[in-house]
Chain A
Amino acid sequence: MLTLHRSQVLLASLALAASFSVLAADPDISALDLKPELAEKSAAPGRKLFVEGAVGRADQRYGLGSRTISRASVDFRDSGRLSPSIQATLSARVDATDPDDPRIDGAVLSLREAFIGWQDETASYLAELGRVNLRDGPGYGYNPTDFFRDQALRTLTTVNPFTLRENRMGTVMLRAQRLWPDASLSVVLAPKLESRRSSAGFNADFGATNARSRASVALSNRWSEKVNTQFLVYKEDSASVRFGGSLTALVSQAAVLHAEGAWGREPDLLSRALGLAAPATSRSRLAAGLTYTTESKLSITAEVQYNGFALGRDQWLAQVQPNPLVQAAYYLKSQDLQDNAGRQSWLLYAVQRDLGVKGLDLTALVKVNRNDHSRMLWLDLRHRFDQVDLALQLLRNTGVGGSEFGVIPIRDSVGLVATFYF
């Protein structure tokens, strides 16, 4: 009897232990023991400050061997409300690079934005006055409708088009906007302020962004939850009117289409680069792409690009490739205008989030000039910590001599980048 009792107790104990172990193993139940962190309070919700340092090694062309490259940057942005209807924004960045930019003395200040904004309490009428970084166009690597992009970069710190936009200066302008629930109409007037660009490092460089008077009108429409369009008209001193249009569309639960194009009468890019008095001709610029995202956190964008003002293969072979001086002028001009040097190009941009480890991201960028068959490959392997980003970056430019990416002195580079956020 006693034995039976013991076995009963033993069985009951085993059953109880089993049920407890099942309970303990139930992740839904154990998750309930976790404690959340409190929300972080920010005294200045519109402020962002980071310091970035980069060091690496570059393998160069033209018999220059390899060398160390480095960069230090400070990036600051603050915006906030001065009253319920008045806002102010200040945004600037300083970059010191080695090798430095021969066109500018010392470290380079990029005063990106400094403006006062007003909006009524229903957010129906808005206005801004000052240096405003106005950016249009949904393209990833090329933005034909972004009419205020030319000469907006004082110095180049990266080849990633998204990161490049972080350095870009705005244009001094008066901007007025009317917003409806599904539409927006905006008008921009940007006066000429200075004729020449500044070579001083610490300079607002209004000669870069306001070297001529400009005006634009943009009308945006939301046709449905899945389709948006924008139409633009742009005019600047001594140039014909340009027209632009763009579209974004959700084509499936995982795919987004974007397209933009601009049309106008201009001299071709080579004539502008060489300062030749060539006649203006009517041509277009186009960019169209598709972004697809997988369930495994991989997002891929493929984009085709067309610049009717750039050289085709035959013209490039005849006019640019044989002459190093023409090469320098042509590619520097395209860089300065943020315009494509090749008539046809394509871009592949891929981001893999949480690559095996939480917070580890891999970004890959490939750009191909279809006319001279040169290409650029850029990889960024980045780990995001709470206050710091650490990144390993690789760059490879390939192409024959005189091609868009074959002409760049750096053939390969590898670098480490550390970004500290405050």
Chain B
Amino acid sequence: MPFGTSEPESAAMTLQALLTTLLITAATACHAALDAQRILEASDAVRNPGRPFSVTVALTEFQAGKRVDASTMVTYTRTLTQDAQFATLVRFTSPARDAGKLMLKNGQDLWFYDPSTKASVRLSPQQRLLGQASNGDVVTVNLARDYKASLLAEEEIQDGDRKTRRTYKLELTAAVDDATYGRIELWVGADNNWPLKGRFFADSGRLLKTVFYRRFAVEMGTERPTELVIIDGINPASVTLMRLSEYTARNIPVGWFQRDYLPRFQPE
């Protein structure tokens, strides 16, 4: 009987030690999870101004390094509910063929409106992915609302501006049924919470796209990414560059974000 302790006492101490260890482990895990979620929230705040705004989005699409398409749109964004979900109205401005067309996204309430036909057509999320506007969600999406974050590692990566950055690598798993992606890997700047790189996966585990956030500049009072490099997950030779400019705080009425307003929308 070493150390003069009885067997029951020893068992109790072992159990106590085990419980303490478990508690510490659980607390540490809990703390890490909390931190990861806070990092994600801070990263969201870098991308998303905290008030209604508009931004001009220019998309240039490349195939094997060759430009194959370009389009420009203005997005009007605000939150409508307490749960901080963004609603977005996209107005296409170029090419001329698409000028004036609108796309409304309010959660899964998706509509496409063409002023030529006066038709408002409800879209499925899958249908929306056919168009370039689908890339808009890598800008104005509140990831902390839809995903649960965990800290995978601290890593040094090369960011979109080819600078080496120390980052937190987060793993985001869908926390709501209507989350667009099954899983996301997100690299966030360790010193400034900048979102630097993301890998977006489907429910099946297939890589849908890799996104680099770069050219950070002061817009609406905070340094935000003004350019995104979006690389197709299946065909990496398919690359879309997204340039964000003219961030403008706006008074955007709630009424803009419903189907019956679309035929009445007038650009400034």
Contacts and interface: CB of A to CB of B under 8 A. Distances in A.
* A and B are partners in one complex rather than unrelated chains: yes
Interface of A: 27-32, 34-40, 42, 45-50, 75, 77, 79-81, 87, 117, 119, 121-124, 126, 128, 133-135, 138, 162-163, 165-166, 168, 177, 179-182, 184, 186, 220, 222, 225-226, 228, 248, 250, 252-256, 258, 291, 293-295, 297, 299, 353, 358-359, 384, 386-387, 389, 419, 421-422
B255 A39 contact: no
A256 B100 contact: no
A38 B72 CA distance: 9
B254 A34 contact: no
Interface size class of B (residues with CB under 8 A): 35 or more
B239 interface: yes
Interface in B194-222: 210, 212, 214
Interface in B226-241: 227, 229, 231, 236-237, 239, 241
Given A179-B255, A226-B108, A37 B60 contact: yes
A165 B113 CA distance: 13
Given A163-B117, A419-B97, 11 more contacts: A27-B239, A36-B241, A126-B264, A138-B122, A179-B260, A184-B260, A253-B124, A256-B124, A291-B127, A295-B126, A358-B61
B58 A387 contact: no
B119 A299 contact: no
B16 interface: no
B227 to A, nearest CB: 7
A253 B124 CA distance: 6
Interface stretch (B21-29, B35-43, B63-71, B138-146): B63-71
A238 to B, nearest CB: 28
Contacts of A225: 106-109, 178
B212 to A, nearest CB: 6
| 8 interchain residue pairs of minimum CB distance | A27-B236, A123-B255, A421-B96, A184-B260, A36-B241, A39-B58, A254-B126, A165-B117
Interface of B: 56-63, 65, 67-70, 72, 80, 91, 93-97, 99-100, 106-110, 115-127, 130, 158, 160, 162, 178, 210, 212, 214, 227, 229, 231, 236-237, 239, 241-243, 245-246, 251, 253-261, 264, 266-268
A119 B99 contact: no
A226 B109 contact: yes
A29 B160 CA distance: 8
Given A220-B260, A291-B127, A386 B70 contact: yes
Given A27-B231, A181-B80, A293-B124, A38 B58 contact: yes
Interface of A is mostly: mixed
Given A162-B119, A228-B259, A34 B94 contact: no
Contact of A48 (B116, B127, B236): B116
Contact of A32 (B122, B212, B268): B212
Contacts of A46: 100, 266-267
Contacts of A50: 96-97
